[in-house]
Amino acid sequence: MTEKRKKMPRPMAISDLLDSAFHGKPAERRLQEGKIWLVWDTAVGRQIAAKARPVSFRDGVLTVAVVSAPWMQQLTFLKKGMIEKINERLCHEMVRDIYLKAGMPPPLSPLT
């Protein structure tokens, strides 16, 4: 018996599945916004990520908690480049501005 075996298709990644399930729906925008947190560390680099973390996103403005005033001042000068790198990783012009606020950034997740 020479029956050809059909290969099983690879399962879809959960992110791809969610993207297709919510395409064209209001939740789609929220899923896209959530990707900011996923790309943050690689977009801004480990050194900045250790001192500054995103805390919210609204109407194109990403709010970032920064550990100290000197770091806030430094990041003020780096904002434009950070925005470009984040949007590049997102493959979409989502972040228009970054608002820096003083505060202890949330801890890094164990996955990073």
- Note the pTM of the prediction, 2 decimals: 0.71
- Per the document, the length of the chain is 112
pLDDT tens-digit profile of 63-110? 999 999 999 999 999 999 999 999 999 998 999 999 999 997 666 555
Angle, to 10 degrees, between the axis of helix 14-22 and the axis of helix 26-44? Answer: 140
Strand bridging mode 61-66 / 52-58: antiparallel
